[in-house]
Structure 1
Amino acid sequence: MLFRFIAIALLLSILVISPQPSWASPSPPDAVPLTLELLKARLKAPVQLEGSRTIDLRHFVIDLRPDNAEFDNQFYRLIQEQIQRSAPPLGLDLSYSKILGELKMSDLAFRIPLYGKTLPPIFNEAEQAQFERDRRRLSQLNQLSRSLLIQTQVEPVQITVWRGPLLLAQTRFEGFINFTNTFFLGRVEAQGAIFPQDVDWSGARFSRKVNFSGSIFQGEVRFRNAIFFDRTRFSQVEFRGAVNFQSSEFQSAANFNQAVFKQLTNFSRILWQDNADFSQTQWQDKVFFDRDKFGRSLFLTEATFEKAVSFRQAQFNRSVNLRGASILDQTDFADANFAKGSYLNVANLQFDPKQATILGDPGQIGKAFSVPNLEGNEIVMRNLVQNFWGLQQVADANEIEYTVEKLRLKEQRQQLIGTNINNATRWHLQSLGFSEKQADAIIQAREQNPIRSFNELLKIGGVDFSTYVKVRDRIAVGEPLTLTGRILMIFRGLGLSCLLLLTRYGTSVGLIFGIEMIGIAHFGVMFWLIDRFRRLRPKPIVPTRLETLWSLGGFCVLTLMGLAIVFQSSDRPWLTLAYMEATLLPIPLLLMIFLYWKGRYHNLLTTTYFVEDGTLRQLRFLIGRLPIIPDYPFFRERYIPILWDRRWGWLIYFDFSLNNLLKFGFNDIRLRDEHVPGLITTLVWYQWGIGMLYFALLLWTLSRTIPGLNLLIYFK
């Protein structure tokens, strides 16, 4: 017992003698009224805060109300004299203080004219360049005013310069705050500050970091025409009044994370040169981002828009992240410009088309939406499709469905060639990018239940999001595929690839017509070759040189026109052309090689293989037409052989190719029914079969791009 008592006594003595940690220090003392004597004493003895000499006015009640005019005048005069006498920049710390009345920054710092031949040497090159820009702007405005007879004389413009840091942590301002046209050369820190009245920072320039994190603005906030040269933080700020940042400029990253905007907010005509972070923000009233220029990414992750938000005529150069955001009213992207590579990330977007609306330029806005994967985003994409169908923007609804099918094809490809984590070994998992602990956790989890989705993978302990992003394109989830399932998925993938590459999943009529022109040109010149180049000996049966030039010229013109359309309409034109040529060329070329290798020995060798019905010459729909005339003498009397000696006879072969592929043409041209080599018949029937598939794709694409036909499909 004695030893236990001694040990307890020693422990208590150590706790009493040892210094307390910083977080256990007593709370700051209550604020006391600032008198002239205290002010003079603090001015004589500035303190060092983070390397800067600073006037310490913390924990004071500073009365600047009109009924305390004597102190008010002395307060501004004494501080201004001290600041102007100090060679190094002198800061001001008003943290934890309470300001009664209006705080006028123009009376606190010193003022210099905006116009002048030279500027004080305290400004760096960037600030001097900004002065020159402001001079030009004000000069243009003054000239406009004089031209409109609004203002006959130009009043001298002065600015307020604050050289040192301004510290306002948890300061409470009871009056109006006027910091207009103020240049802050030092940092501004106002974490947790409270502004019950209106605040005006219009025309301010912030050369160093600005931090308003956790502040509360109860009145109207104005930052019009302000420029932030360094990083800006408004995270967790509560804006209870109207907010106006119109025509401001953020040259570095701006952070409004978790801010709350309760009244009308105006962020129009702002230049964001770096990232703009509005993640987890709440917008309880209308907000305007009209004519903004976003140099880098805009983050609206998990933001909530209760009222209308407008991005009209905004310019986006990088991604707009709306992942997990909630849109409860109208969102307007009309006339917005999305640069190449920019997009709207709408993964897990909370959006109900029955209650909210997303607007945008018809035929353009649908191309901007994107999600990283289809899993978990099917409802989001379906709601977007319904939104644009409700607006009768057919092209945009189709673009979103095209995006969905591209993601579906990507999932199928991953299932085929990706590593399934349900049967991968520990070594294989580590080679993909998982750590040893993560691989062990995956193996333990799949032993209980197979991992069927990426969301289940993220729920496994130890698998973080950064690792998932690194490996998600190389792994597959779900049950491993059997041989039969793999074969079926390959065929489904080929069919889906055909729809995506040849029609953009029914979204581009231009693309399918471009492919048609190339197909007509290819088969037209093939038919011309097999019909006009028969033999060289003993008697040549070949076309004239002029006919050859015209025929090859027609082939080149049609092909170039088709290529131009394909490269304009397709997302992956080279892959589209490769897929198309793999369908058009191999079999016809083999048939032609066999034809010329075997030779042709039959009756009517000097007569064309093609005949036409000359009873009616007009543009006709030939869906029921077969490529060969019936084997009946009556039809031989109706169909006469085409004439080789016509000047424009070579056009007939392209017309036949048009008939056979598009089921549409000017003349009813067919293959004769007797003395025709089987290889030629096979070639003609091959194009006819491709034409049936092409015609089905064309009708399907037209049904998806023409609103009247679409109504029959979607509004059942």
Structure 2
Amino acid sequence: MQTGTWRQEGLRLCLLLVLLVGLWVSGSSRVWAASGDNSSSRLPLTLELLQERLRSPLTVEGSAVLDLSHLIVDLRPENADFRDQFYRLVQASLQQPSQPLGLDISDSIIQGELLGQKLGLRAPLYGESLSALFSESEAAQLDRDRQRQQQLSRLSQALFNPSGILPQMPLTVFRGRLRLQKTQFLGRVDFGNTFFLSGLDATGARFAQDGDWSQIRSSKAATFAESTFVEDANFRGSVFFEAANFSQVAFRGEALFQASEFQGTASFQHSNFEELANFSRTLWSDEADFAQVRWQQKATFETAAFQKQLNLMEALWLSTGTFRQATFALPVNLRGASLRSQLDFSDTRFGAEAYLNVAGLQFDPNSARLLGDPGRIGQALSVPTLAGNEILLRNLVRNFRQLEQIGDANQVQYLTESLRLRSLLQRLFNLNLNTASQERLRIVGFSAEQATAVVAARQVQPFRNLTDLIIRDLVDLDTYIDVRDRIAASPPLNLGNRILLALRVMGMALLLVLSHFGSSFWLILGVGLVAMAYFGLVFWIVDRFRRLHPQPIMPPQAEIITMLGIFAGIEFAGGLAILRSSEMPLLTLGVVTLLVVPIPLTLMGILYRRGRYHDLMNVSYFVEDGSLRQLRLLIARLPIMPKFPFYRDRYTPILWDRRWGWINYFDLSLNNWFKFGFNDIRLRDEHLPGLISSLVWYQWGLGLLYIALLLWTLSRTIPGLNLFIYF
């Protein structure tokens, strides 16, 4: 009995297993069939079904819509009778003078060529007549576009039509919205020269052959999101008056958008361009978003005009991208983009608020190039922080040096050191997350809970950078943005390290302010001219204004006027060079003033307060080498006459009664500051007040530092010297 029972139970289990396997196979076959041929769920459109749909349009979002969705529409030449009837009936229905009728062909399969000209209403592009079928608002919109087209095309029409009479050129108008969602077009699609007054929606559509969308107009939003263009997509000369959505589109053929206008926002996010992408001569009146776009072949934006921001964040260029002669009014975001070939910004015009945000840009200067106008492209680059961008900045320097654009390489180096100075200042003065108390954290902007969490987190692991606050989920994004400019994350600093850091900050600040970190010859020259003219005037004052009583020792009025005029002229030239070369000219002039004004004025004040009581009061403090007058380098020269009898006959005091004697004071200042001059002028070695000697030696010492900075700047700005030093 037990054996029979076991056999029955086993048989039942086998039958149940067979039944389950059969159900699984049946379900899988249905799924495979549905996925392999989804046309089985669509009905073929017949003339009777078309007439039925025409008699009973649907109402979608308050608008009447001719529903031809989920159908198979055969417009092939072998079905010519149905094709002609289809165009005639649909066009007649769409031209009714009542409420505009939309057309919905979503999720249908269109076999054969689809001609938009045979569906919409034909209206003249030029001329005065407009169909009475248009409402007042539709006619106004169409008339505005006609006038615009007339203005743009009048010249070209006149070239081919000398009579000056513009012909009647019709365009196709769709008054209702055109819906092509997930529609499969197996043949060619032609909507060229079509005006969509209510916009169109082709989300998820697939175009198996080339499509002509040239010179279309869309008054409302137009979307081709998630669509696929297997062949070429021609959108030449099109105008999108509102938003245009081309996000996640696969352009497998050429994408042609030449001379198109995007007056609303334009989105091409996550799109893939496998062939040429031509956006030359396009106009972008609102934001253009190309984030995470993949360009596999050449992409050209030549002579394009961007009036708002251009977003190229995390875009990938596998081939050449060119923006030659493009115009940017606002910043271009290249954050996180990747460059495998070259990106050309030659002859590009940047507005006052425009720049290239290249933070996180990835490229290898050995295989990729960033091109631009020498002396301009480097100034257009912007990186917000040094952290995370050190490799990028080094690659940019290498890129421009390999292109022999030394000025741009130096500009990037200046940007690098400016960011480094900012980080050092934050480390020196900002609140350190690794040492601050909870009370100070609350004062700077953290909540009590956040301050407690920060203190607890740093005991587990010290903060290495500010982004640890977000990574370790200690604060929200709004708090981070609010406090990031007032905090720092660095190891604790003792007094000695803080002093060394402060000295380093001062040195870097001086290099940046006075010479753009060795990248601006005209800036350092302007600084030298300002300082040289000032010291020349100081030397003239202490030498010529001796006393008023008992016998005045002062220069004549003509000499005073001449000296002040020459001083003003040199100061103006130096100030102009600083103004044109420095990003912060007032700060540069302020630093120069602090270096050259306080100590000389203090020495002069003490000198005139004490008075002068020594021999040779009627003889100049300065002597000149009378043996030979010529332009000479005086780098190793000391500012005082050697104390040997041989030099008594060689150096003679400069004469006050000479007509051009005032030149000697500027020549002396030139000797001390630039280390060359037209004559060797020094201090005499007897009956010389120590304050005057200190004044001259002070300028000579500053001159040593200046000439070192000048030579360093020259080595970085002259290509030959630059190659000698760096390579």
Same fold (TM over 0.5): yes
One-letter identity of the residue aligned with 2:152: R
2:519 is matched with 507
2:643 is matched with 631
1:22 is matched with none
Distance 1:576 1:152, change over 3 A: closer
Cα displacement (A) at 1:145: 2.7
Does the CA-based 8 Å contact 1:441-1:461 persist in structure 2?
Answer: no
- Whether 1:59 aligns to 2:70 is yes
Cα displacement (A) at 1:154: 5.7
1:677 is matched with 689
Q: 2:261 aligns with which of 249, 252, 256?
A: 249
Distance 1:131 1:465, change over 3 A: farther
Cα displacement (A) at 1:631: 1.6
Does the CA-based 8 Å contact 2:126-2:166 persist in structure 1?
Answer: no
1:14 is matched with none
1:410 is matched with 422
1:43 is matched with 54
- Cα deviation, 1:98-118, whole Å, max 9, x if unaligned, reads 111111111101111111235
- Whether 1:137 aligns to 2:148 is no
Distance 1:118 1:501, change over 3 A: farther
Compare 460-469 and 382-391 and name the one that shifted more.
460-469
Matches within 5 A, 1:181-192: 181-192=193-204
3-state SS, counterpart of residue 454 of structure 1: coil
Does the CA-based 8 Å contact 1:437-1:462 persist in structure 2?
Answer: no
Does the CA-based 8 Å contact 2:369-2:399 persist in structure 1?
Answer: yes
- Cα deviation, 1:113-161, whole Å, max 9, x if unaligned, reads 11123555343656533321201222211112347xxx99965311111
CA–CA separation in structure 2 for the residues paired with 1:619 and 1:281: 62
Q: 1:69 aligns with which of 73, 80, 84?
A: 80
- Cα deviation, 1:570-618, whole Å, max 9, x if unaligned, reads 0000001101100010000000000100000100001111111121111
CA–CA separation in structure 2 for the residues paired with 1:96 and 1:443: 59
1:367 is matched with 379
3-state SS, counterpart of residue 652 of structure 2: strand
- Whether 1:530 aligns to 2:545 is no
One-letter identity of the residue aligned with 2:315: A
- Whether 1:714 aligns to 2:709 is no
Cα displacement (A) at 1:510: 0.4
Cα displacement (A) at 1:293: 1.0
CA–CA separation in structure 2 for the residues paired with 1:611 and 1:628: 9
One-letter identity of the residue aligned with 2:96: R
Matches within 5 A, 1:392-431: 392-426=404-438, 428-431=440-443
- Cα deviation, 1:317-338, whole Å, max 9, x if unaligned, reads 2111111111001111111112
Distance 1:308 1:512, change over 3 A: same
Cα displacement (A) at 1:269: 0.9
2:398 is matched with 386
CA–CA separation in structure 1 for the residues paired with 2:142 and 2:599: 71
Distance 1:685 1:118, change over 3 A: farther
Compare 98-107 and 565-574 and name the one that shifted more.
98-107
2:611 is matched with 599
Matches within 5 A, 1:328-367: 328-367=340-379
Compare 495-504 and 160-169 and name the one that shifted more.
160-169
One-letter identity of the residue aligned with 2:318: E
Q: 1:268 aligns with which of 263, 276, 280?
A: 280
CA–CA separation in structure 1 for the residues paired with 2:378 and 2:93: 61
Q: Which runs of no fewer than 5 residues in structure 1 stay unpaired?
A: 1-25
- Whether 1:488 aligns to 2:500 is yes
Does the CA-based 8 Å contact 1:661-1:690 persist in structure 2?
Answer: yes
3-state SS, counterpart of residue 160 of structure 1: strand
3-state SS, counterpart of residue 159 of structure 1: strand
2:22 is matched with none
Q: 1:91 aligns with which of 90, 97, 102?
A: 102
CA–CA separation in structure 2 for the residues paired with 1:489 and 1:126: 66
Cα displacement (A) at 1:429: 3.9
Cα displacement (A) at 1:200: 1.1
Compare 218-227 and 447-456 and name the one that shifted more.
447-456
- Whether 1:479 aligns to 2:494 is no
2:90 is matched with 79
Does the CA-based 8 Å contact 1:352-1:383 persist in structure 2?
Answer: yes
2:332 is matched with 320
- Whether 1:293 aligns to 2:305 is yes
Cα displacement (A) at 1:468: 3.5
3-state SS, counterpart of residue 635 of structure 1: helix
CA–CA separation in structure 1 for the residues paired with 2:143 and 2:455: 62
Compare 495-504 and 334-343 and name the one that shifted more.
334-343
1:18 is matched with none
One-letter identity of the residue aligned with 1:144: L
Distance 1:434 1:92, change over 3 A: farther
Cα displacement (A) at 1:667: 0.8
Distance 1:660 1:161, change over 3 A: same
- Whether 1:667 aligns to 2:688 is no
One-letter identity of the residue aligned with 1:385: V
Does the CA-based 8 Å contact 2:271-2:292 persist in structure 1?
Answer: yes
Cα displacement (A) at 1:412: 0.8
3-state SS, counterpart of residue 704 of structure 1: helix
2:470 is matched with 458
3-state SS, counterpart of residue 499 of structure 1: helix
CA–CA separation in structure 1 for the residues paired with 2:262 and 2:626: 74
- Cα deviation, 1:70-118, whole Å, max 9, x if unaligned, reads 2111212212222221422211111111111111111101111111235
CA–CA separation in structure 1 for the residues paired with 2:255 and 2:480: 39
Does the CA-based 8 Å contact 1:532-1:541 persist in structure 2?
Answer: yes
Cα displacement (A) at 1:436: 5.9
One-letter identity of the residue aligned with 1:281: V
2:509 is matched with 497
CA–CA separation in structure 2 for the residues paired with 1:568 and 1:464: 43
Compare 597-606 and 351-360 and name the one that shifted more.
351-360
- Cα deviation, 1:505-526, whole Å, max 9, x if unaligned, reads 0010000111111111110111
Does the CA-based 8 Å contact 2:271-2:293 persist in structure 1?
Answer: yes
- Whether 1:302 aligns to 2:314 is yes
Q: 1:608 aligns with which of 596, 620, 628?
A: 620
Compare 81-90 and 505-514 and name the one that shifted more.
81-90
- Whether 1:691 aligns to 2:703 is yes
CA–CA separation in structure 1 for the residues paired with 2:531 and 2:712: 19
Does the CA-based 8 Å contact 2:158-2:164 persist in structure 1?
Answer: no
Compare 60-69 and 583-592 and name the one that shifted more.
60-69
Does the CA-based 8 Å contact 2:127-2:168 persist in structure 1?
Answer: no
Does the CA-based 8 Å contact 1:228-1:249 persist in structure 2?
Answer: yes
Does the CA-based 8 Å contact 2:329-2:350 persist in structure 1?
Answer: yes
- Tell me how many residue pairs correspond in the alignment: 687
Superposed CA RMSD: 1.9
Distance 1:527 1:425, change over 3 A: same
One-letter identity of the residue aligned with 1:375: A
- Cα deviation, 1:162-210, whole Å, max 9, x if unaligned, reads 1111111111111111111111111211111111111111111111111
CA–CA separation in structure 1 for the residues paired with 2:409 and 2:499: 32
- Cα deviation, 1:349-393, whole Å, max 9, x if unaligned, reads 111011111111111111122211101110011011111111111
Does the CA-based 8 Å contact 2:127-2:167 persist in structure 1?
Answer: no
Cα displacement (A) at 1:533: 0.6
Matches within 5 A, 1:86-165: 86-117=97-128, 119=130, 121-123=136-138, 127-146=142-161, 155-165=167-177
Does the CA-based 8 Å contact 2:127-2:166 persist in structure 1?
Answer: no
Cα displacement (A) at 1:445: 2.7
- Cα deviation, 1:195-227, whole Å, max 9, x if unaligned, reads 111111111111111111111111100111111
Does the CA-based 8 Å contact 2:125-2:146 persist in structure 1?
Answer: yes
CA–CA separation in structure 2 for the residues paired with 1:211 and 1:445: 48
